[in-house]
Amino acid sequence: MSEPAREERSHRDGVRAVAPLAIAVVGFGVSYGVLARAAGMGVLAPIVMSMTTFAGSAQFAAASILDVGGTVAAAITAAVLLNARYGPIGVSVAPWLTGSAWSRFLHAQLTVDETWAVAAEGDGRFNPQVLLGAGVTLYAAWVAGTVLGVAFGDVIGDPSTWGLDAAFPALFLALLVPQLRDRRAKEAAILGAGIALVLTPFTPAGVPIIAAAGACLLGLLDRPTARTDEGSAT
Amino acid sequence: MSDAWIVVLVVGVVTIAIKALGPMLLGGKPLPERVTGVVALLAPALLAALVAVNTFGGDQELVLDARVPGLLAAAVAIKLKAPVLIVVVVAAVVTAGIRAVTG
């Protein structure tokens, strides 16, 4: 199923693809370190969390809940809801991870929004080498940023001053556009964005994204094999 | 154990498990055809949701701020076939510039 037809991308392409974002990720790592210390998480715990959880939005949510005196249960629930999307994302990359159990585990842990998006080759295909190169790069940036933030405090100020928060939607948009090759993909994109926006004011963070993943069920409307117009759908 | 460490350990273990689930159980095997068609649409659906939430999302509210012109500038750069690096930088610079001007 993996014919080497089109040009193969390698680890290096993965590094290159997320390099522009790595700077923004360092910036947010620093601000996470600062917030986590202010929230009374100490020095070591935020760094361990960046090394194990490796998911920015969930870590920010947990730290900010602890910061305002929220309960442990509330912090855990928010973080787990935010990371629930990695369930379906993991299923989508699984067929392309053909290595040993350890190799699959490693790739799985490095699969976050940005690395998953740059490793996508369209039509549901993923490149594990690009995933690994991008994953190691972003992991290093995130952990290094956290260490800087915890150790040296507010060295860069608020990352949004530098517009770094706009870097993420810009990257996702740049990666979305080539995915919109057929009508069904465009419908899924519009439905996904719509679900996420409608739910944002009414649900805890994380729920809009995982609900938007449900838009991929539009694929059930198609015949199982080629998405062509041979008529006679199910 | 402090509250912070409980959160770090529980969230860490659960997140590692969520991420590992698909690749450990299904790794290397092709998905059933019916599922493949669904999973192929996960990328456009989730990417579009991530664009929307990262542009308009606030603390349980929708907000219009300097990220929006940043994203519009990025869209123009994408239309002009700029490399991803330029797209990302354009969005950050436009957003930062508007924030600097408007305070």
Gap from A28 CA to chain B (nearest CA, Å): 14
Domain boundaries, position B5: 1-30
Q: Which residue from A49, A93, A205 is facing B8, i.e. has the nearest CB? A: A49
Give the residue carrying structure tokens 């939430």: B53
Three-state secondary structure call for residue A158: coil
Mutual orientation of helices A101-109 and B3-26 as an angle, nearest 10°?
Answer: 130
In terms of DSSP bridges, do strands A125-126 and A120-122 run parallel, antiparallel, or are they unpaired?
Answer: antiparallel
Of the two residues A3 and A20, the one the predictor is more confident about is: A20
What digits encode the pLDDT tens for the residues B42-95?
989 999 999 999 999 988 899 999 999 999 999 999 999 998 888 989 999 999
Which residues are bridge partners to B62 per DSSP?
B57
In a domain, B62, yes or no: no
Stretch (H or E) spanning B54: helix B42-56
Q: Would an 8 Å CB–CB cutoff place B53 in contact with chain A?
A: yes
Give the C-alpha separation, B4 to B17, whole Å. Answer: 20
pLDDT, residue A223, reads 66
Cα distance between residue A154 and residue A168, in whole Å: 21
Task: Give tens-digit pLDDT for A17-39.
Answer: 899 889 889 988 998 998 898 88
Confidence bin at A70 (pLDDT 50/70/90): confident
Q: Which residue has the higher pLDDT, A49 or B86?
A: A49
Sort A100 into a burial class: Cβ within 10 Å, 0-12 / 13-18 / 19+.
exposed
Looking up tokens 């199923």, which residue turns up?
A1
Stated length of chain B: 103
- Residue A120 pLDDT greater than 70, yes or no: yes
Cβ separation of B15 and A225 shorter than 8 Å? Answer: no
Q: Look at residue A227 in the predicted model and tell me its pLDDT.
A: 46
Name which of A101, A192, A227 is nearest B46 (Cβ-Cβ).
A192
Average per-residue pLDDT in chain A?
88
| Residue B85: inside a domain | no
Question: Does A199 lie at the interface with B, CB-CB under 8 angstroms?
Answer: no
Q: How many domains does chain B have?
A: 1
Is the minimum CB–CB distance between B4 and chain A shorter than 8 Å? yes
> 135-174 in A: which are within 8 Å (CB) of B?
160-174
Of B63, B37, B51, nearest to B88 by C-alpha is B51
Specify whether the CB–CB gap between A222 and A233 falls below 8 A: yes
Mean pLDDT of the A59-63 span = 91
Mean pLDDT within A191-218: 92
Task: Classify the complex by whether its ipTM is higher than 0.85, answering yes or no.
Answer: yes
Q: Which of A72, A94, A162 is opposite residue B26, by nearest beta carbon?
A: A94
B85 near A CB under 8 A: yes
B102 within a domain of the structure (yes/no): no
Asked if A99 has any chain B CB less than 8 Å from its own CB, the reply is yes
Q: Please give the model's pTM, rounded to 2 decimal places.
A: 0.83
Give me the residue spans of the domains in chain A.
Answer: 11-179, 182-234
Percent of chain A with pLDDT over 90: 61
Domain assignment of residue B41, yes or no: no
With contact defined as beta carbons under 8 Å apart, do B47 and A102 qualify?
no
For residues A164 and A45, the answer to whether their CB atoms sit within 8 Å is no
Residues A186, B31: Cα–Cα separation, whole Å: 23
Q: Is the pLDDT of residue A1 over 70?
A: no
| Contact yes or no for B41 and A219 at CB 8 A | yes
For residues A17 and A141, what is the distance between their CA atoms, to the nearest angstrom? 14
The reply to whether A75 touches chain B by the CB within 8 Å rule is yes
- By the CB < 8 Å criterion, does B64 face chain A? no
Residue by residue, what is the 3-state secondary structure of chain A?
CCCCCCCCCCHHHHHHHHHHHHHHHHHHHHHHHHHHHHCCCCCHHHHHHHHHCCCHHHHHHHHHHHHCCCCHHHHHHHHHHHHCCHHHHHHHHHHHCCCCHHHHHHHHHCCCHHHHHHHEEECCEECHHHHHHHHHHHHHHHHHHHHHHHHHCCCCCCHHHHCHHHHHHHHHHHHHHHHCCCHHHHHHHHHHHHHHHHHCCCCCCCHHHHHHHHHHHHHHHCCCCCCCCCCCCC
